[in-house]
Amino acid sequence: MKILVCISKTPDTTAKIAFTDNNTKFDAAGVQWIINPNDEYYALVRAIELKEADPAATIHLINVGGADADAIIRKALALGGDEAIRVNAENPDSFGIASQIAQVAKENNYDLIFLGKETIDYNGSSVGGMVAELLDLPYISLATKFELSGTTATVTREIEGGEEVCEVSLPVVISCNKGMAEQRIPNMRGIMAARTKPLKVVEPVAADILTEIAAFSLPPAKAGVKLVDADNVQELVRLLHEEAKVI
């Protein structure tokens, strides 16, 4: 079984957010980059668990980005990926990224394509569906459980107000949600092995760019906190009604 895990480079959640070029680009100065947690904790770790159950399985990683993504790719290899492919292209829009992933997938005939439900920077949740469409494969989103029996997968996915259980034949594209797997930390053996695992850099194929960033903006600054004495219920109600306007 061949598994492709899509990984993205995202800013650490503690990073200070700022913009440049008239608020049209993210300011990367001084930012600590990490593997997108949804890709790492759920997609990659579940793929590793499947490989542990089937040692003949192989896990390939794919990232669309520049050379500055190599560090997070090596971390993913340390966790348990066998080899990695980086498409040497600065991330355009979601369709552009999906086009690059789909092209690599077409050339390698994967049985499973895993990715996190969304990246924590843009929260678009769109790449997985686009990859599936470009490959003409079934797609199941927001998966919280994935079990495999032969070439048939049973997938539990989150829906509004509950869960839905699906059965699907491989190959399939799955976007992974919380519950799919538990976080792992690379051990020293994995870190050392990652240094020699293949990281292949390929040039991008021509792809349409369907969207562009018009502008970024920060949310309004938080107002100061008002403390109300626990015994002064009337004042609390007044503030909630007149100022906060929530009642």
User: Which CATH number belongs to the domain containing residue 89 in this structure?
Assistant: 3.40.50.620
Instruction: Establish if 232 belongs to a structural domain.
Output: no
At residue 30, the pLDDT reads 85
Instruction: Establish if 237 belongs to a structural domain.
Output: no
Average pLDDT by consecutive 10-residue portion of the chain (247 residues)?
Answer: 95 88 87 93 95 94 94 93 94 90 96 95 91 97 95 94 94 95 83 88 92 86 83 90 85
> Backbone phi, then psi, for 81, in 5-degree steps?
-70, 150
Q: What domain range is 150 assigned to? A: 2-218
Instruction: Establish if 110 belongs to a structural domain.
Output: yes
Instruction: Establish if 131 belongs to a structural domain.
Output: yes
- Any idea what DSSP says for residue 180? S
Distance of CA 123 to the CA centre of its chain: 9
At residue 220, the pLDDT reads 82
At residue 116, the pLDDT reads 95
Within a 13 Å sphere around the CA of 110, how many CA atoms are in the beta-carbon half?
Answer: 27
- How many domains are contained in the chain? 1
Helix or strand (DSSP H, E) at 101: helix 94-108
Instruction: Establish if 87 belongs to a structural domain.
Output: yes
At residue 194, the pLDDT reads 86
Instruction: Establish if 234 belongs to a structural domain.
Output: no
CA distances from 57 to 1, 51, 52, 143, 202 (A): 5, 5, 8, 21, 23
Within 8 A by CB and 6+ apart from 123, the residues are none
> In this structure, is the dihedral angle defined by the CA atoms of residues 173, 6, 179 and 15, taken in order, positive or negative?
negative
Helix or strand (DSSP H, E) at 193: helix 188-194
Instruction: Establish if 14 belongs to a structural domain.
Output: yes
pTM of the predicted structure, to 2 decimals = 0.85
Within 8 A by CB and 6+ apart from 155, the residues are 140, 143, 145, 146, 147, 165, 166, 167, 168, 174
> Shortest CA distance to 116 belongs to which of 69, 180, 199?
180
Instruction: Establish if 25 belongs to a structural domain.
Output: yes
Q: Is-contact 201 100, C-beta < 8 A? A: no
